[in-house]
């Protein structure tokens, strides 16, 4: 169920772009096949054949992981609630662009971005809103390119004149403040529950990894934006008087294991911890999915049990009211800026086939954010 029924007229359509997740056992293999055949995410020789084979090999393991969690991906249900909250907030705060409809647009499963644009094609304005605060070719770039390819084939309908995008919002103060608030909340809970001091808790920021060459050779700035996010959040926490050690780590190596990935890995950083407790921050994620519920909450907790007495994770934004406010504010600013699109420029050594065309289609005016 989306934020509003499709027979409701929408003046402004907002599509929240995300990876999505399988809703049942039968969706796992098709989801993985889409993922491993995505050349923006990773490049493989004989991509379609090898991607299909890797998906087939990994399907049983991923099925086991979901069984371990006790549920399939919660992302769709959470985002439907987010969509409803954002649409209602926009209707209240910005009646000039109302009525608003907000829906999810997933990269690897239904509802796909193109499906939702088609369903609400009569809207006067369509905004594609990346739910990846830090831009990477593998996440935001892949979702935007997927949308562009669908839009470019719609010769009978003029979407180009009314569609725009929101990308790369990691360097906003309200984004950093939201993370700082959630971290402080969990930090104080740990101290009170276990009788700990600030110095007893190590905060580990864990982000989805990339092959090192993507950043150091191709020029994807994702790692710099993640580090910039951590620096901004840590500055706020230190200004509140918190005394702790913070560390950045990288998780979820999706692809050939012989590839050299960004370091240090999250298990390595956990293993070297000298404090009594670890507080994990899923810095690259806004909404819960398998990488928070399984990889952090179960797998990494198991590693942590070997080295510390206590382990906890900061909640994702999910339905946090201040996150709904943040999304609404970003959208209002975008509307007031006359729907100006700004996507991070192509990598210096871009390897994508659609990256430049995608940016041209959306009329992107690049802005170089600084870490």
158 is catalytic: no
Residues 295, 297, 334, 354: which is the catalytic one?
295
Q: Which long-range contacts (CB under 8 A, 24 or more apart) does 53-58 make?
A: 55/29, 56/29, 58/32
Confidence of residue 367 (pLDDT cuts 50, 70, 90): low
Do the bridges between strand 277-281 and strand 201-208 make them parallel or antiparallel, or are there none, so unpaired? parallel
Would you state the pLDDT for residue 258?
74
288 is catalytic: yes
Would you state the pLDDT for residue 37?
85
Residues 13, 17, 32, 35: which is the catalytic one?
35
**Residue 371 pLDDT more than 90?**
no
How much is the pTM? 0.93
Confidence of residue 6 (pLDDT cuts 50, 70, 90): very low
Would you state the pLDDT for residue 33?
86
CA atoms within 13 A on the CB side of 292: 23
**Looking at residues 18-32, what average pLDDT do you find?**
89
**Residue 223 pLDDT more than 70?**
yes
**Residue 369 pLDDT more than 80?**
no
* Of 109, 140, 184, residue with least CA distance to 286: 140
Query: What DSSP state is assigned to residue 12?
Result: E
Comparison of pLDDT for 27 and 355, the residue scoring more:
355
Residues 29, 202, 208, 344: which is the catalytic one?
208
Q: Which residue bears the tokens 């864990």?
A: 206
Confidence of residue 256 (pLDDT cuts 50, 70, 90): low
Q: Look at residue 165 and give its three-state secondary structure.
A: strand
What's the burial of 171, exposed, middle or buried (CB within 10 Å: 0-12/13-18/19+)?
Answer: middle
**Looking at residues 342-362, what average pLDDT do you find?**
94
- Which two structure tokens, joined as six digits, stand for 223? 């790692």
Residues 38, 84, 146, 288: which is the catalytic one?
288
Residues 41, 90, 190, 262: which is the catalytic one?
41
Digit-coded pLDDT (tens) for 51-92: 888 888 888 988 888 888 888 889 999 999 999 999 999 999
196 is catalytic: no
- How far is residue 213's CA from residue 202's CA, in Å, rounded to a whole number? 29
291 is catalytic: yes
Residues 31, 66, 72, 108: which is the catalytic one?
108
295 is catalytic: yes
Would you state the pLDDT for residue 4?
45
- How far is residue 121's CA from residue 263's CA, in Å, rounded to a whole number? 44
41 is catalytic: yes
**Looking at residues 235-263, what average pLDDT do you find?**
90
Residues 234, 291, 297, 354: which is the catalytic one?
291
Would you state the pLDDT for residue 62?
84
- How far is residue 221's CA from residue 134's CA, in Å, rounded to a whole number? 9
Would you state the pLDDT for residue 5?
43
Domains of the chain plus CATH, in order, are 12-170+321-361 (3.40.50.1400), 173-313 (3.40.50.1400)
Residues 100, 107, 232, 359: which is the catalytic one?
107
| Mean pLDDT, all residues of the chain | 92
Digit-coded pLDDT (tens) for 88-144: 999 999 999 999 999 999 999 999 999 999 999 999 999 999 999 999 999 999 999
């Amino acid at each position: 169920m989306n934020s509003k029924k499709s027979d409701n007229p929408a003046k402004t359509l907002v599509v929240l772009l995300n990876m999505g997740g399988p809703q049942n056992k039968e969706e796992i293999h098709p989801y993985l096949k889409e993922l491993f055949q995505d050349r923006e995410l990773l490049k493989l020789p004989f991509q379609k054949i090898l991607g299909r084979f890797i998906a087939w090999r990994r399907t049983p393991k991923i099925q086991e992981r979901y069984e371990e969690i006790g549920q399939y991906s919660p992302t769709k249900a959470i985002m439907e609630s987010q969509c409803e909250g954002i649409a209602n907030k926009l209707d209240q705060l910005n009646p000039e662009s109302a009525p608003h409809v907000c829906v999810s647009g997933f990269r690897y499963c239904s509802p796909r971005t193109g499906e939702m644009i088609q369903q609400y094609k009569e809207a006067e304005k369509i905004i594609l809103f990346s739910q990846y605060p830090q831009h990477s070719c593998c996440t935001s770039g892949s979702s935007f390119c997927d949308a562009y390819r669908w839009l470019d084939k719609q010769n009978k309908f003029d979407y180009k004149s009314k569609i725009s995008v929101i990308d790369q919002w990691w360097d906003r103060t309200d984004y950093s403040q939201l993370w700082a608030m959630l971290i402080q909340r969990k930090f104080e809970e740990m101290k009170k529950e276990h009788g700990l001091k600030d110095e007893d808790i190590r905060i580990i920021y864990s982000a989805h990894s990339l092959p090192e060459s993507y950043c150091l050779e191709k020029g994807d700035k994702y790692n710099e934006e993640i580090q910039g996010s951590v620096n901004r959040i840590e500055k706020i926490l230190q200004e509140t008087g918190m005394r702790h050690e913070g560390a950045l780590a990288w998780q979820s190596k999706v692809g050939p294991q012989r590839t050299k990935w960004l370091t240090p890995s999250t298990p390595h950083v956990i293993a070297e911890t000298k404090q009594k407790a670890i507080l994990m921050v899923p810095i690259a994620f806004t909404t819960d999915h398998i990488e928070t519920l399984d990889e952090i909450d179960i797998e990494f907790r198991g590693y942590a049990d070997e080295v510390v007495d206590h382990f906890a994770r900061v909640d994702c934004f999910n339905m946090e009211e201040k996150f709904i406010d943040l999304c609404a504010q970003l959208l209002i600013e975008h509307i007031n800026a006359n729907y100006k699109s700004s996507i991070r420029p192509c990598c210096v050594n871009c390897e994508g086939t659609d990256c430049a065309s995608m940016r041209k289609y959306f009329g992107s005016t690049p802005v170089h954010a600084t870490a």
